Amino acid sequence: MDAKPRLAVHKFSSCDGCQLAFLNQGAELLQLATLVEIVHFAQAGFVAPDATVDMAFVEGSISTPEDEKRIRLVRKNSRYLVAIGACATAGGLQALRNRAPGGAGWIAEIYPQPGHIHALPASTAVSAHVPVDAELWGCPVNGRQVLDAVRGRLFGVTPVVETDKVCLECKRQQGVCVLVAHGAPCMGPVTRTGCGALCPRLHRDCYACYGPAENANTQALGRRLADLGLSPAAIARRFLSINNAATAFRDAGDRWQEEDHGDA
Amino acid sequence: MSEPHLMHEAVICERIQESPTIFTLRLAFTDPEHKARYRFQPGQFNMVGLYGVGQSPISIVSDPEDEHLLDHTIRGLGRVSLGLSRLAPGGRVGLRGPYGRGWPLAAAEGRNIVLVTGGLGCAPAVSVIRYILRRRERFGHLTILQGVKHADDLIWRQQYERWSGLPDVYVGLAADVSAPGWFGQVGPVTVLFDRAPIAPGSLVMLCGPEMMMRAVVEDLRHRGIDENDIWLSMERNMHCAVGLCGHCQIGPYFVCRNGPVFSYPELKALLGERGF
Amino acid sequence: MAATGFLLRGHMQNLLDALRAAGYRCVGPQVRDGAIIYDTLSQADDLPWGWRDEQKPGRYRLGRHDSPWGFAWANGPQGLKPLLFASADTLQTARRTDEGALHFESATPHAIATAVLGVRACDLAALRLQDQHFLEGLVPDPHYAARRADLFLIAVHCTHPAATCFCVSTGDGPRAEHGFDLALGETEEGFLGTAGSAAGAGFAKRLPLRAAEPREQDALEARITAAAAAQQRSLPARDLRAALFANLRHPRWEEVATRCLSCGNCTAVCPSCFCHAQSEEPTLDGLSSMSVRRWDSCFTQGHSAIHGIVIRADTRQRYRQWLTHKLGSWHDQYGRSGCVGCGRCITWCPVGIDITEEAAGICGSGHV
Ligand SMILES: Cc1cc2nc3c(=O)[nH]c(=O)nc-3n(C[C@H](O)[C@H](O)[C@H](O)COP(=O)(O)OP(=O)(O)OC[C@H]3O[C@@H](n4cnc5c(N)ncnc54)[C@H](O)[C@@H]3O)c2cc1C
Ligand code: SF4
Ligand code: SF4
Ligand code: SF4
Ligand code: SF4
Ligand code: FES
């Protein structure tokens, strides 16, 4: 019998929430430990950041010169690299700083000792720095998707890439549409599934944490949000949130910001 | 009630690497009763299931009278097909089928046959070539025209060479992009038509990319081939293979059920119409 | 059809009790999350007494009225579809032994006998379409068949169509004409009941019905006639197949694609749409795996992806697939249009795209 595949979970610029998605799997996590050898997963007490592994999950965006160096090393040490979560797949919420007018000047305004901040000019996705074998979107990622990726790897296949929109999953769950029935500014029609339509099922509007779905018509949804009474600035904020640096959302946000300035 | 979604275990008896990306799995059902019941026609396909991963439609290329093994020649592309490529003899897969309407073999008896294939869509055509060659006396002249994108894409080169040596068989090969040692012509498959024997009244079977099939049909009609004598094998996304999931629709047709082989008049209105 | 009898509003609980006594799980309309949905119903009190809906393209609202009526609303997002063609269904379970042998087991559900109260005419018509697809094709689908087998249908004639309804023009409503076991027509005092099957007639005997008065019958007829007359939308009555396929390059497809989100809500709420995707769901230990099918839509990429190519990559092609299938090639497949005029795709489209307007825009309102 082959040796168990070696697995690592690396953290970059992030909040640790995606690692929690792993840890929250409870019993399945124990089962995972019997199927693979977890060699690095700091939050779970395994520390060997430089180990060579078969499969690495990477959480967090590349945001500092140190991140940039380390991600290359992780890539070199990992046969199969999966970026997990909005930070690793799209630069995360922190990519909002990429948009700050006047470059990094804001750092001096916020931090008492800006000299301690060593940041790259932009917070970016892992794929902007090294080749990535698969991406699992979401803030945080869905633990089921992460475990499916491990299972797939054990079977020798790539993970399923879910590209459908949240709406389809929302309807499969027999949810009542919060946009149509309550006028809520739901982002489901442009957002990738994976969460199981969690927010609409809890009667609130989706806020696009799984990033853009394929063939997302951000213009048409933006116009609909305007009909619902949102201002151009508010619409721009709907797009420029957790996945603000994902192309489709960034472009939509830019357009609505321009609209806002045009109005002013 | 019958169980249209249920797979049956099959074992890989032999695995043949045909080219760097193409391989053949020779399969046998493990349940003798199911094996005895199972019958298929050339041009039909099975759903081949990779345990825990998914199912893909794959043509059956062995001979229907060869009761021992079901051959599937597969190109490793995505999750299922690449996964299948890693299985070794003795490995198990799920199988259900056969599905679809195969080639019009009854109508083809006594006729001259022209087979035109393009790209890598050769698997469904190979099954019919072998079928005809094994029953040579029941069919007229056989013309085989195969076009490939790149000369290196041609698999079964020796087989084509062997076929071209048989009486009453003509083989023409064309590649869009040539390579050293290429012995066929260069260009789309239609460059072969002027030289090839395509007698009026022939029955034509096509398979390959739709744009190629459209160009071929156009050309053949100018050569006096009746459109009712042109048959095409189509490919669409398939999940159920039994006319339920809706994925394989082309206009009014479910390819899994009404096809994959269609007569040209059936498809005429939508062939090459992007989006169908 | 002459009425079998009259059920007082106050006797609705007797009807539910009789269904339960006859061994049925009862499913009926109730208010949840701001809409009328169908779910298990044990109390007649849970019916939407006094509720009214307001629907228009992309908008649905419920409001309370000071009225004793229980069915003074048009359909919400669901029809019978979710009850029979489940949005997620396990088709088979595979197990793999240590030696690598595979065992496949069917996962056909053991459905329980179900009675549905409040089925509308459009949904009876859609049920017929789904029966054709799932039961009368190449092979009957055992999952649909199991749930369909023991279904007792209590229809309610529509007296309060929504602004989005157009069943009159498709010939499917507002009166429930066939396909039910029992039909109810609501009036000021209660319900006129009509049996539509032997089972329905037998069941009616267990209800505290009194004889229906001609006055009540007339009042109901007038209501239904008024409901038909009140419909604001329509599809051209002719078969649109030829017109749609003659107009595959109409500029309107491009234009609707600028508005359409390609979200698939229309197909999900459409009571006749049948598309689904199949996927494999292995357990983490790898010892077993389920084949699961889930609702899919021709508005997704996966619906038409073959390796390296997406046949319908853009919204123009996807919207065109939906309309040409629903109103066009459905005729070839099932002998009629796939639209029963329920209006759900109009109301539940987040941007309010109206199938009747698009069809008229593409086919013209005249003849081809
Ligand atoms: C009737 C028919 C006969 C075929 N015969 C052969 C054959 O003999 N040999 C061969 O190599 N290939 C054949 N194909 C194509 C083969 O089915 C696909 O290459 C295969 O499904 C790709 O699956 P995948 O998981 O490896 O790829 P992925 O790209 O990962 O596809 C994921 C899923 O999409 C669907 N899908 C993707 N591509 C296709 C496709 N081309 N056709 C149908 N569904 C698709 C399947 O459901 C598949 O599981 C045939 C297709 C059809 C329709
Ligand atoms: S609630 Fe949101 S996700 Fe659900 S159908 Fe409506 S718009 Fe789509
Ligand atoms: S197409 Fe629209 S109106 Fe017609 S049956 Fe479907 S959901 Fe109802
Ligand atoms: S192809 Fe589209 S319109 Fe037709 S049944 Fe499927 S989802 Fe509905
Ligand atoms: S028509 Fe409406 S509901 Fe249908 S896919 Fe387009 S936006 Fe979604
Ligand atoms: S493959 Fe499902 S309908 Fe043809």
Q: Dump pLDDT digits (tens) for A203-227.
A: 999 999 999 999 999 999 999 999 9
- CATH code assigned at B24: 2.40.30.10
Interface test with A, best of B53, B80, B82, B84 (most A CBs within 10 A): B53
A187 C-alpha to ligand 2 centroid (Å): 7
Interface test with A, best of C27, C60, C254, C263 (most A CBs within 10 A): C263
CA C293-C299-C304 angle, to 5 degrees, is 70
Task: Tell the residue number behind the tokens 């995360």, with chain if given.
Answer: A92
**Helix, strand, coil proportions of chain B in percent (round to 5)?**
25, 30, 45
Phi, psi of A83 (to 5 degrees): -80, 130
Residues B90, B109: one domain? no
The residues, any chain, with a CB within 8 Å of residue B68's CB and separated by 6 or more, are B28
As a whole number, mean pLDDT of residues C235-253 equals 93
Nearest CA to A5 out of A132, A152, A154 is that of A154
Q: 48-67 in C: which are within 8 Å (CB) of B? A: none
List of chain A residues whose C-beta atoms are within 8 Å of the C-beta of residue B86: 156
Number of domains in chain B: 2
Is the CB of A167 within 6 Å of ligand 2? yes
How do beta strands C151-156 and C182-186 pair? parallel
Gap from C30 CA to chain A (nearest CA, Å)? 13
Q: pLDDT tens-digit profile of C76-105? A: 999 999 999 999 999 999 999 999 999 999
Residues B262, B140: one domain? yes
State the CB neighbour count (10 A cutoff) for residue B175.
22
Domain membership of residue B202 as a residue range: 105-267
Please tell me the least confidently modeled range out of A40-44, A159-163, B63-67: B63-67
Residues B110, B85: one domain? no
Residues B167, B48: one domain? no
Gap from C152 CA to chain A (nearest CA, Å)? 22
Q: pLDDT tens-digit profile of C205-240? A: 999 999 999 999 999 999 999 999 999 999 987 889
pTM, entire model: 0.95
- CATH code assigned at B171: 3.40.50.80
Is the CB of C333 within 6 Å of ligand 4? no
Chain B residue with minimum CA distance to C242: B269
Q: Are C180 and C246 in contact (CB under 8 A)?
A: no
Measured distance CA(C152)–CA(C114) in Å, rounded:
6
pLDDT confidence of residue C368 = 41
Residues B146, B225: one domain? yes
Q: Is A230 on the interface with C (CB under 8 A)?
A: no
pLDDT of C136 above 70: yes
Written as one letter, the residue type at B186 is V
Instruction: Outline where chain B has alpha helix (H).
Output: 32-37, 79-85, 105-108, 123-134, 157-164, 210-222, 255-258, 264-267
Question: Which secondary structure element, helix H or strand E, spans residue C144, and what is its range?
Answer: helix C142-149
Token pair for residue A260?
């806002």
Token pair for residue C38?
């169908």
Chain C residue with minimum CA distance to B54: C280
Ligand nearest to the CA of A220: 5
Cβ distance of A176 and C260 shorter than 8 Å: no
Measured distance CA(C28)–CA(C13) in Å, rounded:
12
Interface test with A, best of C275, C284, C314, C348 (most A CBs within 10 A): C284
pLDDT band for position A104 (cuts 50, 70, 90):
low
Residues B154, B208: one domain? yes
How many A/C residue pairs have CB atoms within 8 Å?
A: 126
What is the fold of A6-154? Answer: Rossmann fold (3.40.50)
Residues B69, B144: one domain? no
pLDDT of A112 above 90: no
A42 CB-contact burial (10 Å; exposed 0-12 / middle 13-18 / buried 19+): middle
Ligand nearest to the CA of A171: 2
Mean pLDDT of chain C: 95
Residues B121, B21: one domain? no
Residues B173, B192: one domain? yes
Among candidate residues B77, B99, B121, the one where a domain is terminated: B99
Tell me the percentage of chain C whose pLDDT exceeds 90: 93
Please tell me the least confidently modeled range out of B83-87, C137-141, C354-358: C137-141
**Domain residues of chain A, as ranges?**
6-154, 166-263
Residues B246, B117: one domain? yes
Which residues pair with residue B144 across a beta bridge? B115, B171
Task: Tell the residue number behind the tokens 């369909």, with chain if given.
Answer: C148
**Is residue B274 in some structural domain?**
no
Cβ distance of B83 and A157 shorter than 8 Å: yes
pLDDT band for position C55 (cuts 50, 70, 90):
very high
List of chain C residues whose C-beta atoms are within 8 Å of the C-beta of residue A214: 301
Q: pLDDT tens-digit profile of B102-138? A: 999 999 999 999 999 987 657 778 889 989 999 999 9
Please tell me the least confidently modeled range out of A14-18, C181-185, C194-198, C346-350: A14-18
Gap from B247 CA to chain C (nearest CA, Å)? 6
Residues B75, B160: one domain? no
- HSE (side-chain half, CA atoms, 13 Å) at B103: 29
Give the mean pLDDT per block of 10 residues along chain B (276 residues): 89 93 94 93 94 96 87 93 96 97 94 89 81 93 91 81 91 90 88 89 93 92 92 96 97 96 95 92
Measured distance CA(B155)–CA(B19) in Å, rounded:
6
Residue ranges around ligand 1 (CB below 6 Å): B 45, 54, 56-59, 73-75, 77-82, 123, 235-239, 260; C 305-307
Nearest CA to A210 out of A178, A183, A248 is that of A248
Residues B71, B134: one domain? no
Measured distance CA(C41)–CA(C116) in Å, rounded:
9
Gap from A199 CA to chain B (nearest CA, Å)? 28
Measured distance CA(A160)–CA(A137) in Å, rounded:
12
Q: What DSSP line would sit under A124-163, residue for residue?
A: B-GGGTS--SEEE-SSS--HHHHHHHHHHHHHT-PPP---
Chains that touch C (3 or more CB pairs under 8 A): A, B
pLDDT band for position A102 (cuts 50, 70, 90):
low
Could you identify the atom of ligand 5 that is nearest to the CA of residue C267? Answer: 4
